[in-house]
Structure 1
Amino acid sequence: METRVFLCALVLCCSPFGFALQDEPKFEDDIFSDLDLDLNAAPRRERRQVKAVLSKETKPHMTELTVKTTIISRYAFTAVYCRMFNRHASAAEGTFQFQIPAAAYVSNFTMIIGGRVFPSQIKPREKKAKGEREGESPTDKPKNKDSNNQSEGNMETFRMAINIPGRNFAVFMLTYEELLQRRLGNYEHVTSVRPLQLVSRLTVEVTIVEHSRITHLEVLPLRNGKASSNTAKAVLPISTVIQRNNSFSRVKFNPSIVQQARLTTTGNLGDFVVRYDVEREMGIGDIQVLDGYFVHYFAPRDLPVVPKNVVFVIDTSASMLGTKMRQTKEALFTMLRDLRPNDRFNFVSFSNRIRVWQPGKLVPVTPLNVRDAKKFIYLISPNGGTDINSAIQTGSTLLSDFLSSPEATEANHNSVSLIIFLTDGRPTVGELQTASILGNAQRAVGERFCVFTIGMGDDVDYRLLDRMALENCGTMRRIPEAADARTLLKGFYDEIGTPLLSDIHVEYSEDSVEYVTQHLFTNYFNGSEIVIAGKLTNRSAETLHVQVTASNSDRSIVMETDVPLRQRQLETERRMKAAGLPKGMSLDTVRGIAPSTGTGTGTTTSRPTGADTNRGTKTDTKPGTEKKSGTDSDANANANANANSELESGTGYIERLWGFMSVKDGLRSRLRSHTSRERDEHTQQATNLSLAYNFLTPLTGMAVERPQVLADGTLAQEAPPTEAPAAATGAGTANELPAEEEQVGGAPSSSQSLTRKKDQPEQSSKVAKATGGATKRLSKKSVTISKTSADGDPHFVVEFPLSKLTVCFNINGEPGHVLRLVTDHSQSGVTVNGKLIGAPPPPGSHKQLRTYFSTITIVADKPRRSYIEVTPKKVILDGRDRMVLPCDKSVSVESGDLAVAIAARSNITVTIRGTIGFVILLHQYKNPAPYQRDHLGFYISNSKGLSKDTHGLLGQFLNEEVGLTELIADITTEQPTAGSASQAKQQPPRTALKVKGRTVPVVKKSRRIYSGQQTVDCWFARNNAAKLIDGEYGDYVVSHMFDTGNWPHGSNTD
């Protein structure tokens, strides 16, 4: 009997472990290699503890987290690479969660689940229909930065939860960009290291490349509490290594799993903070130039302090009771000690009633006044509600009355005036409507001073405070609920407590700059920096004239100089090359995970105005880490090949900085808008820029396809696509070329840009090959579109393949005119005409009127007369049958020798007899501005069937050869000066084009085609293409859209 009982007990004890071992896969060798385990320790038989351990084992293990940042002249690119492993046979939910700075923009997110790529797509944010629930969306959208509930101080959380198939890996790749702000004399870069579990391989690397010498660099202790790190001892985080020289620094934090466990067992390591500053140029500041864009950093020093007039408006409602009020009082006591003798101040406390410390005046800073002010603060007792409207009105009246008094004029003529407004709640008493409060505040302020707002805790109407500050030249600061409010309040006051300049105007020569970001500033505070980015009108310009005017405490300041652009560009290229960042490299290499780590990642990013936007990362896990098959290495090979092919097409960092700042400007202008029309214009502008540079902003959303995991824990196979994936998935297809034309581009993210789709058929085939899927390739051949085109305003581009030259010109036509683009009526029977539509110029444009193609007609007279008429809304095909096809649906039709393929809201491909092909781009605006018109772009994709006698504005160049020559420059005579003879001066030679025996002066320019997807260098002919084209403009104007008359044979002579 005892033997039976013993055997039964033995079976019961061993069975669970036996079954558990059947499901346990083989671990990677190094997952627990760093753990120091005591195998002699006796285990505790505590049921709760066992349950806890078992529950933790169901969560996928994070095997790697790598965060790499490259900071190039204050602009930071950060790439996050996270790899998880589901060690169980069944599927388990894996959550990727990462905190990013609130001021940063996400620029790409890609998942690789089970070897299959799931790229993200940035799309315009649309209003949800009434009754639509979040879960009804077919795509999972990461948390956008437009919501306040995801905020923690100055960090916000990006989160994505998906099911990971059993015994499989998941890779998450996130990139974001930010412009570092200078505060209190330092730039600060913060990396959140909170994986929420111990990580086998954890790396944080920050690389800094600056033009000027790095004068200060420090790495703070890991910041995981709410207390400020200013008071912490300067002890480097464990395993941190610093490499640096004059203008280059690299900081690496690489703790082992044991070192992580010594810091915390929860994986919440905290913020990894790097601070630095650079040497300042005296005078006008630091201007950097690259690829037609510039950035101007202006931070003067050693200036006298400008006196300030400040009114503190403090919330004393009942919600401030306790720690908030105590810390606020401590911060105010410290601020009082920092006031300077020439300053003037007052206090207003508010709840459901308003109290003014010194009614009707601002008092000077004297020991007696400071003592009385401390007494006023000490006696504040929180109670009642929150009357924000009356509080800001009272503070504004105090300051306005003082500024109007003779006392203010005599005392401080150039003083800086400001209100510091602090609250922890929403309006509950008095005026409650946000619009009324903002309107009243703006009228009371009257552009005479600035309002700086501070919100404490989670119950604050931050939108109200943000708009109040923006509309009144101030800024808003957020203090989290559990933060050290005293330290943060004092830090914010230190940033604005020492004004050095006021009324700063930065001007650039009008003919040299096409668009600049904000260049008028109310104040400049010590330790901060003014940053302006701009786009140059002419890339080949030699100099840029810059003028800065401002006022300080006792006089006006004017600084101006001519900046040598070419020298600055060479200097920028030299600095980047010295740091291993060559000018021509793509930003994928700048901000991707470095190849030295072996991750094999290579993200692809967007060219502005539609270049490769939303292209996802086509990579997989590290080579050699998974030993099931060779699929991972195949995926990596594909990804690396793609990255290498992109190497010379990356956007320069200054251009992306310009795009980043332009979006910020657009959002600020949108908040300050007073009419719905003005708001819509700013919204459209900021949305277009966000889509062009692939930024996740409050106006855009990110859609990511959710992987489908079957009941058995495996990943569902991809369905073989039968058409372009963009149409299959329902994504936006504006300006999308058909799938068979993927050499040119695919689906874009906006109606103003032509972009290549991330999941094109060819790419899907590569991924399917790596994962064992059965994706079917399209049988149609790719069509390579030439650069020969007429698009935009209208801008003409002509490619001469035989001469290996590209020429461009503009035609300033008249609205209503019909232009002959291609005519080969006598041979192939093909004629193409385009009708012009007029549009007013955008604000600031030098043009009085712009014209675009509103209708394009293609007439084919052989073997029988037929035609195709295209507008942005519909296509009329009149051949054997007459069909009217809408442009918002994808369809392919044939009628005799004509074939038409429509990619919905994107483009129309027309093929004639298989030897002549045209592509017509659709440019549509969802919410057009007054100066925007729906229009068309015309591209020649195949001209083999056109004869050598083809003519027209484009057709005349299809079979021509041209050459470049230098014109002998004139010799000019300089006027003699006193005591000297006149001197002859040889002018530099000019470039000219030899075409059909004519000589045409040209200059080198860059032009974007395919809706901005591709930039081409071309030789530009001025004066409406005079001497370049045969005849004159009027020779190409025809009577109607179906005119097929012969070319009138106009000519030009030298």
Structure 2
Amino acid sequence: MDARETTFDVTLPDAAFISNFTLEIDGQLYPGQVQEKEAARQKYEKARQKGHTAGHIGTRPRDTNRFLVSIHVAALSEVTFTLHYNELLQRRRGTYEHTIYINPGQVVNNLLVEVTIQEFKPITHLHVPPLRKDILYNFQNNIWNTYAIVQRPSSTSAYIRYNPSVADQQRASLQGLSGLFIVEYDIDRNKDGGEILIVNGYFVHYFSPSGLQRMPRQIVFILDSSGSMTGTKIDQLKSAMKEILSNLNPDDSFNILQFADTNIEAAIIEGLRIFQKSNTTRTSSSLIIFLTDGEPTEGETDTSKILGNIDKENGASIPIFSLSFGEDADYHFLRKMSAQNNAFVRKIYEASDASLQLTGFYKEIAATLMANLTFHYLDDRVIENSITNVIYPSYFEGSELVISGQVTDNSINSLDYLIKGVGSDGPLEFKPSNNIVQKVGAEVVPSNFSEVTEKIWAYMSIKHMLIERLKTHNQTAKNLLTEKATQLAIKYNFVTPLTSMIVTKPEEDKVVDPNEDYEMNDSPHSVWDNALTGSLGLALAGRAPSYVDSDPHFIIRVKGLETSVCFDVMGTDGDVFNLVRDEISGIVVDATVAAATTRQRRGANHMQPRIDGASVDQGNQSNNETEVKVKTYLGSVLISGSRTMLEITPQQWKINGRVYKWKASQAVSSYKTKIVTDGTGKMIAIMFPHRITLLVVRHMRSKSQLRMGKIHFLGFYIVDDRGFSWHTHGLLGQFIYRRISLIKRKNIRGGKIRGKLKVEGNTRKSRKVVATLGKRLNLATNQHVSCWMVQKNGKRLLDGNYSDYIIRSKNVTISPRKFKRRRHVVH
């Protein structure tokens, strides 16, 4: 019997991210892995061609509501799939709406839907309407789904159970039930700065004040009346416009522009110039609503040029909301135009309910309560570049603004902020009230609650990056946003427009437990040899981007400078320094300092320890005193990331607590990370996924050297840094995306060369630093390398002071974080 492919068409909310996909094949579980989209596709095709079972999830083009799940089933296999997704519910028209798409295609013996809602304020509205099709219709809010059972354990929680019997399903259709199961709800609101949830270093701020007066508005409707709109579509548009115009406020003004030749650029620019001629006030709000069923065919037809010309014309940043009517409209172009002009696009499907779709869209933006909002977080414990978005052109009645970010203090119990905006009566400000939510009732599952804010932050950060990626005209910025969004999606296991999820049954019979380290089937020699042909070979040639070794020296290769930069840092025995920290990839590297002390009698000076092994003169003490020489080294290295914790000392190394000896040759895998030793047992390569490779080198002393007070020590090398994000920091990590240039060079006394370096890039402030040209030993190659030596603990070369990188607690354990979302709906 031949292998066959089975396709499942899974319908999800368009704002949802798939977060887990598991295959159960003949009783064995195989979890999915999120990868960059093309890499996942190639892996799936490779498995399919071999006849092995494989599953792949990717977004279906032009249909943002559905995900295509393809499962290639081997002969005589039984396959079950489990799909998990996450969604941050958006408040629209005054309620949150959670939708589950039910369409099994047959009568199901046990059809069960369970929805659990847990909020932090009282639930004031809850409604479960009857199952309905995609087609909208007007129904009374008091009509309930008779098969849904609703329980209210408390004022802040609800439980909904939908379990229609076989007979109930057959009464609907011989093919069973098909439709949208919807739960609507809302919570209590006040006229204040909103609600803030802070857990485990992440915060989420929900802003939806009530009691504000509507702002007067000036609206320009730009409507397509071309030949393709004739018939049903133009009748539906007229019907919708009659209702929309009848609901305008007395203080509102409007214009209607028609364009019949699909000259989109001319129509938009004409609409923008209406605002330039009008006498708008600061306390009024302006917006454009643009509808078309086609693409540019007259005038300028190059969409990139149209976007550029509209951007130049729209100096006042008027929001342009787009309605993409039917399949022939250029949805991608309209989406980009609205994103670049502070608004959003909405699809209007050609169906009998198109008029209701149009009026439903308008109700979302029917009343502007505030304009030009900015959120200022004044607490210095808020990490500024972690905040998702702080500027909003409008706040509409019935909606909600959500901002998320990170804080440096996990014990924080207050957050100082200031929200500024303009309302109907002029400027408005909101300041903190008693709105910090940290503890909830016993009915909330603690593990869910402890992860909620982090996942919301990741979800919102990816969404924000995707929007910014859509808006930007700069290809370099677009590439960087693509990389950052992809890395974050992979870290949090999200299927996004940039990633896909792949799960493949291994060719061998053995099933690998994803929570267990296992010996790799690859030959250690072959893995190491393959690595040496690439980036590890560069490390052994002294070309690693940055490293710390010897006693120890920090040597950095940076963009813009041909010669490396080096510096030494003061340190004492037991200090733990952070070398690398990347919040996006989750990789953290810390190193503990170990000191070696030697003594000899010589009329000399008393010395103070220093991490570079040099001596600091403390003054002449006595000709008979014993000279104390203290050199410091890296005594241990702790590396964590991708659910892997690697602790390395010269005597042994551990992976997630499991102990390994420094054997001559071995290869171990932990989740997606490969750990390989070379053929001599002197080096360990740590190969994380997505082009991150680290190298730890072991330096062993002889017995005679140990008797003299010398110690075994380690060196740490960043070999391949391409997978680290822009936000990477630490003593070494901060230089990955930094630029350093030589702006001045001169000869000084003693034949030395002094240079002035300019430090730029991902640093808060560009600056200049003086350095001297010298040489340092690379123990990996036993060769000296030239470098610009910066004195005084890397002062001005480093962000802040060297002491900022000391981890105060020596008992630091770093574990990967997980998440849940705050609008917590489980089914």
Instruction: Say whether the fold is shared (TM-score over 0.5).
Output: yes
1:792 to 573, 580, 594: 580
Does 1:293 find its partner at 2:225?
no
Partner of 1:156: 66
Q: Answer whether contact 2:22 2:83 (CA < 8 A) is retained.
A: yes
Alpha carbons of structure 1 residues 457 and 342: separation in structure 2 relative to 1, 3 Å: same
Counterpart residue identity of residue 342, structure 2: C
* 8 Å Cα contact 1:820-1:834 kept in structure 2: no
Equivalent in the alignment of 1:667:
466
Instruction: Indicate if the aligned counterparts of 1:508 and 1:545 stay in contact, CA closer than 8 A.
Output: yes
Taking a change above 3 Å as real, the CA distance of residues 719 and 303 of structure 1, as seen in their structure-2 partners, is closer
Tell me, in whole angstroms, the C-alpha distance in 1 between the residues paired with 2:411 and 2:729: 31
1:245 aligns with 2:169: no
* 1:501 to 2:370 alignment: yes
Asked whether the 8 Å contact 1:105–1:695 carries over to 2, the reply is yes
Which residue identity does 2:115 align to in structure 1? V
Amino acid at match of 1:350: F
Which one of the candidate residues 87, 90, 94 is aligned to 1:185? 94
- Selected match of 2:131 from 222, 225, 237: 222
2:23 equivalent in structure 1: 111
Matched, 1:581 2:445: yes
Q: Shift of residue 210 of structure 1?
A: 0.5
CA distance in 1, matches of 2:613, 2:55: 48
Residue matched to 2:794: none
Equivalent-residue separation in structure 2 for 1:141 and 1:787 (angstroms): 48
RMSD of equivalent CA atoms: 4.5
CA contact (8 A) 2:364 2:396 kept: yes
Report the residue type matching 1:926 in the other structure: R
Q: In the alignment, residue 1013 of structure 1 is paired with which amino acid? A: P
Match of 1:421 in 2: 290
SS at match of 1:523: strand
- The 1:289/1:457 distance shift into structure 2, 3 A limit, reads same
1:653 maps to amino acid:
V
Rate the CA distance shift 1:173–1:333 in 2: closer, same or farther, 3 A: same
Q: Which structure is higher in RCO with an 8 Å CA cutoff and minimum separation 6?
A: 2
Secondary structure of 2:161's aligned partner: strand
Q: CA deviation at 1:797?
A: 6.2
User: Contact 1:544–1:563 at 8 Å: present in 2 too?
Assistant: no
Taking a change above 3 Å as real, the CA distance of residues 119 and 96 of structure 1, as seen in their structure-2 partners, is same
2:452 corresponding residue in structure 1: 653
Contact 1:202 1:255 in 2 (8 A): yes
Q: Report deviation, 1:529.
A: 1.0
SS in 2 for 1:197: coil
Aligned pair partner of 1:257 in 157, 166, 189: 166
- Determine helix, strand or coil for the equivalent of 1:458: coil
Q: Are residues 1:350 and 2:146 paired?
A: no
Counterparts in 2 of 1:866-1015, with a 5 A limit?
892-895=677-680, 898=682, 900=684, 903=687, 905-908=692-695, 922=718, 924-926=720-722, 1013=816
Amino acid at match of 1:791: L
Q: Deviations over 1:397-453 (max 9, x none)?
A: 222222xxxxx25xx441110000011222222222121111112222223411001
- 1:103 is aligned with what amino acid? A
Q: Distance in 1 between matches of 2:425 and 2:444?
A: 47
Q: What is the DSSP-based 3-state SS (H/G/I as helix, E as strand, rest coil) of the residue aligned with 1:117? A: strand
Counterpart pick for 2:502 among 700, 703, 711: 703
The aligned amino acid for 2:400 is E
Quick check: 1:818–1:833 contact (8 Å CA) kept in 2?
A: no
Structure 1 residues 599-638: aligned runs within 5 Å: none
Q: CA deviation at 1:798?
A: 5.5
CA separation of 1:180 and 1:919: change in aligned 2, threshold 3 A? farther
Amino acid at match of 1:894: G
Matches within 5 A, 1:370-769: 386-402=262-278, 408-409=279-280, 412-482=281-351, 484-514=353-383, 515-561=386-432, 568-569=437-438, 573-575=439-441, 578-582=442-446, 585=447, 587=448, 652-705=451-504, 717=509, 724=520
Alignment-derived partner of residue 101 in structure 1 = 13
Secondary structure of 2:678's partner?
strand
Residue matched to 2:769: none
1:201 corresponds in structure 2 to 110
Matches of 2:697 and 2:807, distance apart in 1: 34
Contact preservation (8 Å) 1:164, 1:170: no
Deviations 1:258-311 (A, max 9, x none): 221221222452110000000013321112221222211111122221111011
Give the aligned partner of residue 27 of structure 1: none
| Paired amino acid for 1:792 | V
Report the residue type matching 1:144 in the other structure. G
Give the superposition deviation at 1:924: 3.9
Identity of aligned residues (%): 31
| Mapped partners of 2:715, 2:162: distance in 1 | 52
Deviates more, 1:475-484 or 1:283-292: 475-484
Segments of structure 1 that go 5 or more residues without pairing to the other structure are: 1-88, 353-385, 403-407, 591-650, 709-715, 736-750, 752-785, 801-816, 836-857, 863-876, 880-887, 938-1001, 1016-1054
Residue aligned with 1:144, SS:
strand
Q: How many matched pairs? A: 616
Q: Secondary structure at the match of 1:689?
A: helix
Seen in structure 2, the aligned counterparts of structure 1 residues 889 and 423 have a Cα distance that, compared at 3 Å, is same
Which stretch has the larger CA shift, 235-244 or 107-116? 235-244
The alpha-carbon deviation at position 697 of structure 1 amounts to: 1.2
What amino acid is the match of 1:264? Answer: S
Quote the Cα distance in structure 1 between the aligned partners of 2:332 and 2:54. 26
Q: Which TM-score applies when normalising by structure 1? A: 0.52
- CA shift for structure 1 position 528: 0.8
Q: CA deviation at 1:190?
A: 0.2
Asked whether the equivalents of residues 212 and 278 of structure 1 are also in contact (C-alpha less than 8 Å), the reply is yes
Change (3 A) 1:788 1:111: farther
Larger radius of gyration: 1
Cα distance change, pair 192–726 in 1 and its aligned pair in 2 (3 A): farther
Once residues 451 and 575 of structure 2 are traced to their aligned partners in structure 1, the CA distance between those partners, rounded to angstroms, is 23
Q: Which amino acid aligns with 1:665?
A: H
SS in 2 for 1:574: coil
Secondary structure in 2 aligned to 1:226? coil
Q: In structure 1, what is the Cα distance between the partners aligned to 2:428 and 2:314?
A: 26
Whole-Å separation in 2 of the counterparts to 1:269 and 1:215:
29
Q: Following the alignment from structure 2 to structure 1, what is the Cα–Cα distance between the partners of residues 240 and 153?
A: 37
Other-structure match for 1:171: 80
Q: Alpha-carbon deviations, 1:589-639, whole Å to 9, x = none?
A: x8xxxxxxxxxxxxxxxxxxxxxxxxxxxxxxxxxxxxxxxxxxxxxxxxx
Q: What CA distance in whole angstroms lies between the structure 2 residues aligned with 1:341 and 1:696?
A: 46
CA gap 1:920/1:562 in 2 versus in 1, 3 angstroms: farther
Separation in structure 1 between the aligned mates of residue 163 and residue 74 of structure 2, nearest angstrom: 27
Q: CA deviation at 1:674?
A: 2.3
The offset of 1:105, in angstroms, is 0.7
Change (3 A) 1:115 1:440: same
CA contact (8 A) 2:57 2:500 kept: no
Per the TM alignment, residue 237 of structure 1 is displaced from its structure 2 partner at its CA by 4.2
